[in-house]
Amino acid sequence: MTKTKKSTHPMDVLLKTNSPPKISKSQELAATIISLSKKGVLFDIGAKAYAVLGDLEVKEISTYLPYLKAGNKIKVRVVAVESKDGYPVVSMKKFFQKGKWEILKAKKEKEEDIEVVCGDYGKGGVFADFMGIRGVIPKIQLTEPYISQPEKLTNQKIKVRILEVDEEKNRLVVSQKAAALGISQKELKEKFDKISEGKTYKAKILGVSEFGAFCEVDGVEGLIHISEISWEKVANASEFVKPGDIVKVVVVEKNLTDAKLNLSLKRLTNDPWEDIEKKYPKDKEVKGAIVRREKYGYFVRLEPGIEGLIHISKLSGEEKLEPGQEVRVFIEKINKKSRRMSLLLPQKEKPVTYR
């Protein structure tokens, strides 16, 4: 049967009447897919008969079926010029290794969804698999209920859109939110370009994690790092903000690589260390509360954002101090640059180090 009739009947498609150029074993060719299914793939490689995929690789083809269709052109390698049944056998090994990256690049360019299988949730987000390529869905790229409980996605098949794809770095970053909400990366880039560093905006809190709060500013995603939430020490971001909250933030930095914003809450308030030496001069007696004990002493909070240390060397060992306990202390020394303050407990006689 000639090519022009495009019959897919096994006996018809494998024998063709035209006189194509000769092919040789191990030769790499551009092949056009004639038909494909879980049972096999037929290719037009310009030979006298249509070529088929080798039996071992047919077992792998089902993984790729959603991303291939008749008419696609891909690279193949000739395994056998003529099998016992009279037709060439080819390998898609190169496609299995490289072609999937080409699919990802094309899908990203067209902003089309792909389907991935979700794995475990780790520090960077939810791991996802696409045809053997391991990618990640950052937590901020999830919608509810998954942003609150990302572990629910384990072993699920979901649709995502591609944010980053880099074969050399073996890097794939995708977004469940972009697929679910139909977010265009081109439109997102336009919104990102309109935002200015140093300006104040309203942000909606999307979720919190151990390293900060995820939020959205005018449709653009950002992170308030835990160190930028408050001037005081923050152990848990959820004590300060919760999903759904609308807060004012200042844009500290625009990350041009992935169109993300680094934001700050605390920079909209005065730094309590700015006039620290005027407010807490040496020898002044002040009230505070024990906040925690470390192996080298006790930390005392004088006000939000201001903590000082009673070093263990300044203690007799007989003191009974507990977190939450109110104490009176003397200011011994302040280092404004390193934001450190040394404190002393009142004593019947001031120690030599205090005089």
Judge contact between 54 and 98, C-beta under 8 A.
no
Q: Is the pLDDT of residue 308 over 90?
A: yes
Distance of alpha carbon 88 from alpha carbon 23, whole angstroms = 9
* Domain 188-268 class, CATH top level: mainly beta
Specify the range with the lowest mean pLDDT, choosing from 113-122, 197-206, 346-355: 346-355
Judge contact between 238 and 208, C-beta under 8 A.
yes
Q: Is the pLDDT of residue 16 over 70?
A: no
Q: What is the pLDDT of residues 157-187, one digit of tens each?
A: 999 999 999 998 999 999 999 999 888 888 8
The pLDDT assigned to 246 comes to 96
The pLDDT assigned to 349 comes to 53
Return the higher-pLDDT residue of 347 and 299: 299
Q: Is the pLDDT of residue 317 over 90?
A: no
* Domain 3-91 class, CATH top level: mainly beta
pTM for the structure as a whole: 0.60
Are 3-91 and 104-181 equal in CATH topology?
yes
Q: Is the pLDDT of residue 258 over 80?
A: no
Distance of alpha carbon 155 from alpha carbon 138, whole angstroms = 16
Q: Where are the domains of the chain?
A: 3-91, 104-181, 188-268, 276-344
The pLDDT assigned to 23 comes to 87
Distance of alpha carbon 28 from alpha carbon 22, whole angstroms = 13
pLDDT over 90 percentage in the chain:
59
User: Minimal CA–CA distance to 174: which of 106, 125, 231?
Assistant: 125
User: Minimal CA–CA distance to 314: which of 302, 328, 301, 298?
Assistant: 298
User: Minimal CA–CA distance to 141: which of 188, 101, 191?
Assistant: 188
The superfamily in CATH containing domain 276-344 is: Nucleic acid-binding proteins (2.40.50.140)
The pLDDT assigned to 1 comes to 40
- How far apart, in Å, are the Cα atoms of 174 and each of 108, 135, 144, 184? 10, 7, 16, 13
The pLDDT assigned to 2 comes to 45
Q: What is the pLDDT of residues 261-286, one digit of tens each?
A: 999 999 999 999 999 999 999 999 99
Judge contact between 276 and 306, C-beta under 8 A.
yes
Q: What is the pLDDT of residues 128-139, one digit of tens each?
A: 998 889 999 988
Q: Is the pLDDT of residue 5 over 60?
A: no
Q: What is the pLDDT of residues 36-82, one digit of tens each?
A: 998 899 999 988 889 999 988 888 888 788 778 899 888 899 999 98
The pLDDT assigned to 231 comes to 92
Q: Is the pLDDT of residue 355 over 80?
A: no
The superfamily in CATH containing domain 104-181 is: Nucleic acid-binding proteins (2.40.50.140)
The pLDDT assigned to 153 comes to 95
The pLDDT assigned to 242 comes to 93
